[in-house]
Amino acid sequence: MPDMEQRVIIPLATSHPQLGRWLWALEDTRARTKAPLAELDQAALDGTGPGVENSIGSLLYHIALIESDYLYGNILGMEEYPAWVDKPEAFAIPDRDDDGKLSVVSGVSLEAHLARLDRVRSEFLRLVAPLTAEQLVTLPRDNTSPAWTLHHLIQHEAEHRGQIATIRTMQGA
């Protein structure tokens, strides 16, 4: 019988194990998003066409922007985001266009997309890891608990990862 891969959750170092498990799941989601991106060229990142409304690059940008927005706006309740978030290399393009569709993000290298995702995630883990068990379930002013936000971000990224996989299949990858 072949060796089976162990499938276990190892909580990240946080203020309490429940939060550590949530953050582990968030990290597992990101690893699964990144796996099929290796060696994508610019044409594959920027490509759209019949049946492809958003490019992979636009989806990666959107994933990072939404995670950042939930971190600073919902979990931390900040009115103004840190300066690094407003820099052109971070999020110069609005999330959506005038028609409510995801903005087109093209000409951005895979390395830049991955660096943005990594920066947001690094800040997310650093700022969320100290939350207490009570803070995790507390409803701030917008009636969205940090625990629900973690669930939502995992689901949000997984859904977009499915879109990325579909685009890669349509591109013949």
Task: Judge whether 69 and 99 are in contact, CB under 8 Å.
Answer: no
Tell me what the pLDDT averaged over the chain comes to. Answer: 90
CATH 3.90.640.10 holds for 42-170:
no
Q: Could you tell me the maximum CA-CA distance found in the chain, to the nearest angstrom?
A: 57
How far is residue 93's CA from residue 104's CA, in Å, rounded to a whole number?
A: 9
Domain boundaries, the chain: 42-170
pLDDT tens readout for residues 9-60 = 888 888 889 999 999 999 999 999 999 898 899 999 999 877 788 999 999 9
Q: Which pLDDT belongs to residue 159?
A: 97
Q: How far apart are the first and last CA of the chain?
A: 32
Is pTM beyond 0.75? Reply is: yes
